[in-house]
Structure 1
């Protein structure tokens, strides 16, 4: 029995592959390498370069491997880009996910774990941590495209019997604590990634998109989760479904928010570099403050985070940036 990881050469997917291999799972990776890297895939995994919308390739994979579960990361994730080019997001995130779900049903795949997002909530009506019952009001095509896939999964589960877990990520950051992989995409927009690049001189400072939000310091507030803890949540989701657990939706976060300026200050302190910060206009689609209520994931998945510390998130991110610098200089 094998686990198919789509987008397994990307940031979160590559961590998931290592997590599964550490748990002695048989792993198959499908990635078109648009933002991921072949070298980021653990060598023990079986790799296929291609698109999740390629029905012929999917048929080949399902024919060759006995796929028990799919962990689906492949997709586009930049909020402002989705506002500027919405149709590409609906194509890549929604239409192609439908192709993958249909292929999974035809191949009698038992379990499906879907990488969703807190963007499905938009800006919550109050400042309380967001639980899974909160209204779903995405403010960007990115969030809408992910929500549409959630709906497809729910309907497919009802009609065809597949069991799923939807994990709604808040802000994923950090790098593998063993130094095996990390966020490597050039031009990445993740706040901590960009700040670490600025600290190491790879960027000439960092832009803060709006400082007039209704928050304590005027900048957006986010709940940051370490990528290793997130990968472990997916493994727990798989174990729960194997044990007979039904389909669920769960938030992935720690339940504590940090503002953009707080995060940048922490990166400066950890790196010892006072890089420039420029306040510019707000970006379209950015929610004001989104913090997870993690009670469901803790209760349902028996999940205990091991890296719930912003200092650890920042330090592993900086360590990975140093690694990339050495790698690129070879």
Structure 2
């Protein structure tokens, strides 16, 4: 049995691949390297370069490696930019997922773990997001992830697809030297690049109704995330029941101010963040619970905030 990991050369995907291999499962990767890197792949894992929009490539890869399940991590993940590139976002995330599901159906592959997003919730009016929190995505990215979940649901009805979707907010840290978040939009790389360039990092708003006035968000370690992807794959292989979706959340979160202070301590680069105006629509606090995932997917927060920062900084700076 082999698991196809789409986007497996990316920051998150490569950690999932390493977790699969570490658990004794076989993996094969399809990635177009638009944001992934060959250097992120572990040695010996088969790789096919290409897009999930290429159904023929997907089916050839499935045939060549006796694929029995798919962990679908590939996607366009920039929520803010998706507002200005909606058609591209839908093509990559919706059309791509439909083509992948069609290839799976054609080859009789009946199990999928989908890397979804807490962006499906939008800005919920609750302190703790649960799987039952109303879905109200506020970007084409969030909408595309919700549609992806609908596609899986409908394929389950139509052809018996067995599946689950994993929703999460901010993924940070590193479990492998040299594998780091390359996104130009996420907080950790933004702060790291500013410090490495001699610039002062910025906080958007410090007058929120939170303990230190800065936004509180979920931050989870990428290795913990990868463990739960593998646990979901194992349950699907064993024919064990799964919920249609799980939140992978910390339950309490961390503030941007806390993160800035921790980064200063870990890097040894003292700084006082510049305070910029609030970004429109930014809620004070969004944190997800993880009780269902803890029950079924071996989910737990194995890393402290300091450990998240330390591993991320070490991976980025070598």
TM-score bin (small chain): over 0.9
Q: Which residue of 2 is the match for residue 326 of structure 1?
A: none
Cα displacement (A) at 1:27: 1.1
**Of the candidates 173, 177, 180, which is equivalent to residue 179 of structure 1?**
177
**Of the candidates 187, 193, 201, which is equivalent to residue 191 of structure 1?**
187
- In the aligned structure 1, how far is the partner of 2:279 from the partner of 2:145? 20
CA deviations over 1:43-94 (Å, ceiling 9, x no partner):
2110011000101211211221211111111111112101122221111111
Cα displacement (A) at 1:139: 1.5
CA contact 1:198–1:275 (8 Å) conserved in 2: no
CA contact 2:76–2:93 (8 Å) conserved in 1: yes
Q: Is the deviation greater in 211-220 or in 130-139?
A: 211-220
* 73 and 243 in structure 1: CA distance in 2 versus 1, 3 angstrom threshold: same
TM-score, normalised to structure 2's length?
0.94
* 98 and 105 in structure 1: CA distance in 2 versus 1, 3 angstrom threshold: same
Q: Is the deviation greater in 279-288 or in 227-236?
A: 279-288
Q: Which residue of 1 is the match for residue 312 of structure 2?
A: 317
**Of the candidates 292, 302, 308, which is equivalent to residue 306 of structure 1?**
302
- In the aligned structure 2, how far is the partner of 1:240 from the partner of 1:188? 35
Structure 2 residue 220 is the aligned partner of structure 1 residue 222: no
CA deviations over 1:254-308 (Å, ceiling 9, x no partner):
212111122111111222212352333444664442211110001122434422x
CA deviations over 1:235-265 (Å, ceiling 9, x no partner):
1111122222234210012212111122111
Match of 1:34, SS? coil
Match of 1:84, SS? coil
Q: Which residue of 1 is the match for residue 133 of structure 2?
A: 134
C-alpha RMSD over aligned residues: 1.8
- In the aligned structure 2, how far is the partner of 1:287 from the partner of 1:152? 29
Q: Which residue of 1 is the match for residue 152 of structure 2?
A: 153
CA contact 1:124–1:289 (8 Å) conserved in 2: no
CA contact 1:15–1:182 (8 Å) conserved in 2: no
CA contact 1:173–1:193 (8 Å) conserved in 2: no
Q: Which residue of 2 is the match for residue 206 of structure 1?
A: 201
* 287 and 47 in structure 1: CA distance in 2 versus 1, 3 angstrom threshold: farther
Q: Which residue of 2 is the match for residue 5 of structure 1?
A: 5
- In the aligned structure 1, how far is the partner of 2:159 from the partner of 2:70? 16
**Of the candidates 231, 236, 251, which is equivalent to residue 236 of structure 1?**
231
CA contact 2:206–2:213 (8 Å) conserved in 1: yes
Q: Which runs of 4+ in 1 moved over 6 A?
A: none
Q: Which residue of 2 is the match for residue 271 of structure 1?
A: 267
- The 5-angstrom pairing of residues 69-148 of structure 1 reads 69-127=69-127, 129-148=128-147
- The 5-angstrom pairing of residues 55-70 of structure 1 reads 55-70=55-70
Q: Is the deviation greater in 266-275 or in 144-153?
A: 266-275
Q: Is the deviation greater in 104-113 or in 212-221?
A: 212-221
Q: How many residues align?
A: 317
Q: Which residue of 2 is the match for residue 328 of structure 1?
A: none
Cα displacement (A) at 1:205: 2.3
- In the aligned structure 1, how far is the partner of 2:50 from the partner of 2:280? 31
- In the aligned structure 2, how far is the partner of 1:276 from the partner of 1:105? 54
CA contact 1:118–1:290 (8 Å) conserved in 2: no
Match of 1:291, SS? strand
CA deviations over 1:173-197 (Å, ceiling 9, x no partner):
0011x426222x2x52221222233
**Of the candidates 283, 286, 291, which is equivalent to residue 295 of structure 1?**
291
Q: Which residue of 2 is the match for residue 40 of structure 1?
A: 40
TM-score, normalised to structure 1's length?
0.91
* 288 and 146 in structure 1: CA distance in 2 versus 1, 3 angstrom threshold: farther
CA contact 1:251–1:296 (8 Å) conserved in 2: yes
Q: Structure 2 regions of 5+ residues with no counterpart?
A: none
